[in-house]
Amino acid sequence: MSANPKVIELIYDSIDEHNEIANTSKILAKSLDTVLFGRDGNLDSLGLVSLIVAVEERVKDEFGADISVADDRAMSQTQSPFRTVGTLADYVSELVKEAGYV
């Protein structure tokens, strides 16, 4: 599926927030191809948690949707939603759509 442009934008805003406090070596590029977590990932588990929290907050502000990005369903996906910015954007777009906010 193609990600909701608003979702991509709010993930990029969350990346900006991450980059403000990240070490130079952990700066994330605002691209759908940026690898977030797993092999060659740019985030450690703590960084991933912070990014997810930031995304959830922005989804609530933008759409009014109270979503949980890291639940059992996310963990059981064939392709991890946390692999790249693109997979995260796809998954969050799906959650927002299911919640009836698009």
What is the binding site for other proteins (CB under 8 A)?
17, 21, 46, 50, 53-54, 57, 60, 66
CA angle, residues 85, 13, 17, in degrees to nearest 5: 100
Could you give phi then psi for residue 6, rounded to 5 degrees? -65, -35
- Nearer to other proteins by Cβ, of 3 and 59: the residue is 59
Shortest gap between Cβ of 72 and other proteins (angstroms)?
Answer: 17
- Cβ contact 33:84 at 8 Å: yes
Q: Minimum distance from CB of 28 to other proteins (Å)?
A: 17
Cβ contact 14:62 at 8 Å: no
Nearer to other proteins, 32 or 50 (CB): 50
Please give the C-alpha separations between residue 71 and each of 19, 25, 40, 94, 97, in angstroms, as whole numbers.
25, 29, 23, 14, 17
Smallest gap from residue 3 Cβ to other proteins (A):
24
Closest contact distance (angstroms) between CB of 66 and other proteins is 7
Q: Which is nearer to other proteins, 40 or 66 (CB)?
A: 66
